[in-house]
Amino acid sequence: MCEKCEPAAIGAGLERRRRLWEIDSNWHCSIVGTCLTLGDLRRVARKLGYKPPVDPYYDVDSYLHGYFVKLCGKPTIAAKMLEKVLNRRHAGAIRKLQKVKTVGDLCDAWTAAFSIGDVPGPYWAMLSHPLIDLRLGSKIYNDVHMLSHLVGASNRADLANLRRLESDLAGAQELAEQTRARSAAKIREKDARIEELEAQVASLSGRLESARKESKKSPPCAIDRDQSGAVVAHLEAQLARMTEQNEILRRDNAAFHTLVPSLRDEIQALERALGDPDEAESGQAGCDNFRCDLKDRCLLYVGGRTRHVGQMRNLVSDWNGILLHHDGGLEQSLEELSGAILKADAVFFPTDCVSHKAMYRLKSVCQQTKKPFVPLRTSSLSCFLAGLEKTLKDGGAATSAQETPPEETRNYL
């Protein structure tokens, strides 16, 4: 039981939940800032027709926060609208506390929720609960107040990393757009070439059929037969060449069609790794934004480019994981690679930047240790994130160690 609260309720309390304007006004600022998202405030402001002033020293969200905090103290239209949003957004937390009968139990419920980081819903449900008193309310408020300081200190480091990632994202988006444009142009070019070849094939097939018919109608002259046979052989050879070219172009076209969505998936994975602040505030963050808990899993990245490894290691560390790196034999030995694989839960390697020796050693050790490995299309950060995201969504499954590595693996080291 919470050490700061007695088992019995302190004071008679209310028989119903407190309305927003009945709660201590000193707590309104933390309620608006913790339990409502900036998106909630913007939507309510639009419904009220309120437009914050333009001020170079304060952003719009800061004005909206202060504006609504002032209106919470009375049963204004704005306060009622905010209360409606609070009750709808945190209905689950409110239901959980309906059976609580004492302040002590209420305090225990808060301690349990706060210990796992579940703050916004329980905070509103507690402060509006009929049993809440000044003593418990002050404790809850102080917990959230100190948490905001800790989060602020942590966010300073996260902000620097976020800016680096945003710069990487901008570059990746530009590169992806250029690649998509080139791929689309090549697809159009190859589609036109395929149509041209198909027309030529149809024409040759018609000529070949006509030549065969003429050959049957012609008198049995040795010279004519020889000439007809030569024509038929020539047309058949030409038809075979055209058919082969057409098939090559079809394969190339299919490869380009596959490449474009792969690039799109990689960019989306990088965007989800960065996260959308509005989505995070509206409760849609988490694994949907690809900020998952790796639970101290150890990942091994083999090969790749040094400038990307540090960024990958920071991201994996942010998600409670460990990233080991082996350069694929450039300076580190293949014996070190075997040892690193034994430490890892999963192995990732870019197929465009890893040596054949490292790839074969990786395959051999993974076969022996039953470790999953994930071949990546390129050594880019976005490609690593897409591969990691897919592996986590598949429940940790990756390419089987018994499968042959992709044929496109090349030795670039």
pLDDT tens by residue, 317-332: 888 899 999 988 888 8
Cβ proximity of 162 and 274 under 8 Å: yes
Looking at residue 76, its pLDDT comes to 93
The DSSP bridge partners found for residue 350 are 376
Q: Which residue has the tokens 């639009």?
A: 46
| 334/357 Cα distance (integer angstroms) | 8
Name residues whose C-beta falls within 8 Å of residue 379's C-beta, 6 or more positions apart in sequence: 303, 304, 305, 308, 350, 352, 353
Q: What is the pLDDT of residue 78?
A: 94
Q: How far is CA 23 from CA 49, 72, 75, 148, 188, in A?
A: 26, 9, 11, 21, 65
Helix (H, G, I), strand (E, B) or coil at 55: strand
Give the closest residue to 304 by CA, choosing from 325, 334, 275. Answer: 325
With a cut of 70, which residues of the chain have pLDDT below it?
1-14, 149-163, 166, 212, 214-229, 253, 255-291, 395-413
Tokens 């966010």 -> residue: 155
3-state secondary structure of 374: strand
Strand order in the sheet with 373-376: 322-326, 298-302, 346-350, 373-376
**What is the SS3 assignment for 89?**
helix
pLDDT digits (tens, 9 = 90+) for 44-98: 999 999 888 877 777 788 889 999 999 999 999 999 999 999 999 999 899 999 8
| Residue entry with tokens 């799109």 | 264
CB atoms within 10 A of CB 178: 10
Residues pairing with 399 in the sheet: 373
Both structure tokens of 76 = 């204004």
Angle, CA 397 vertex, CA 391 and CA 402 arms, to 5°: 125
pLDDT of residue 409: 37
Residue 341: per-residue pLDDT? 92
